[in-house]
Structure 1
């Protein structure tokens, strides 16, 4: 089992996931302390109905939502937000 930091997991996510798909396991650490084990899912785990195995949620057609109108322009809103920095 290879040890990687949370930062490595975040920065090299695709590479780590490919390695897990290939059967490798990882001990993930945060500030040097172990916090998680990342390993390939077993057939038994997948057959128990984990959230990973459920169907995707329905898609939403945002075109059917009502349009929001305002008397304030986008430019005024952005200018106001930029002044808060």
Structure 2
């Protein structure tokens, strides 16, 4: 896994950098459920209907914290 991360430009040199990479890897890039299943979260954030869906999703009590982080980052980058 360390070789893969390093080959993708992530510098894994100690246990702390490995932990940071593993946390980053948990943040999804695409939705895995619902009406927008398979769509990129960053793409949804750039379109009004998709952005509304991401904002709605963030208000749900059961949203995964890593998914919430991905939605927040995508919406903030627009």
Query: TM-score normalised to the size of structure 2?
Result: 0.28
Higher strand share: 1
Asked which structure has the greater CA Rg, the reply is 1
Query: TM-score normalised to the size of structure 1?
Result: 0.26
Higher RCO (CA 8 Å, separation ≥ 6 residues): 2
